[in-house]
């Protein structure tokens, strides 16, 4: 199956609900030469935008889930998932999960696609949609505390090693902070 991905996409992407339309092969002549191209069957529906698809889903199929705990309380959204076939150049491309996340007041909506297995639960997608903030926070802290942004490398493997070392240093400091808790630094200054 390869790498499993979960990525946010624009609301203007086109798709077909379910397995997608049938494909026909049309033959035609161009400058005396017989050619053929694949087209979507005439009786099939046109692909729809992701935002139009989300508006057609009844409220009963949206599930309220808490993504994380924020400073002002729990961060909660409504989620649903559907199997869709993506549209590329007017033809069906691949069938993936479409995960839709919307605010409780229905003013904002986010769309994610994933090639995860059919057995993947909605709770897994909810967790993945909220993990992005933690990754961005990790990058921000690593830039300030362990010098992740202070690199001068010429090749990709060197950059990769620098980022990995910075992340490991940040992970070590994070665990040290949790382990020591909020102990007074005055005691450690006297011991030194």
Task: Please tell me whether the overall predicted TM-score, pTM, comes out greater than 0.75 for this model.
Answer: no
Which of 28-32, 83-87, 114-118 is the least confident region?
28-32
Mean pLDDT of the chain: 83
Q: What is the pLDDT of residues 95-141, one digit of tens each?
A: 899 999 999 998 899 999 999 999 999 999 999 888 877 788 888 88
pLDDT for the residue numbered 16: 85
| Cα distances (angstroms) measured from residue 87 to each of 1, 24, 48 | 21, 15, 9
Res. 191 pLDDT band, cuts 50 70 90: very low
80 or 146: which leads in pLDDT:
80
């Amino acid at each position: 199956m390869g790498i499993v991905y979960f990525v946010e996409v624009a609301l203007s992407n086109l798709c077909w609900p379910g397995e997608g339309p049938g494909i026909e092969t049309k033959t035609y002549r161009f400058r005396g030469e017989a050619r053929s191209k694949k087209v979507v069957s005439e009786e099939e529906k046109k692909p729809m935008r992701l935002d139009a698809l989300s508006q057609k889903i009844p409220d009963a199929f949206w599930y309220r889930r808490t993504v994380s705990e924020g400073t002002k309380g729990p961060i909660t959204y409504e989620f649903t998932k559907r199997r869709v076939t993506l549209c590329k150049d007017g033809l069906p491309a691949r069938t993936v999960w479409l995960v839709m996340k919307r605010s409780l007041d229905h003013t904002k909506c986010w769309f994610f696609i994933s090639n995860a297995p059919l057995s993947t639960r909605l709770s897994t997608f909810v967790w993945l949609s909220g993990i992005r903030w933690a990754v961005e926070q990790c990058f921000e802290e690593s830039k300030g505390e362990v010098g992740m942004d202070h690199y001068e490398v010429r090749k990709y493997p060197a950059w990769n090693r620098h980022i990995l070392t910075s992340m490991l240093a940040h992970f070590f400091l994070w665990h040290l902070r949790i382990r020591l808790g909020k102990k007074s630094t005055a005691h450690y200054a006297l011991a030194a």
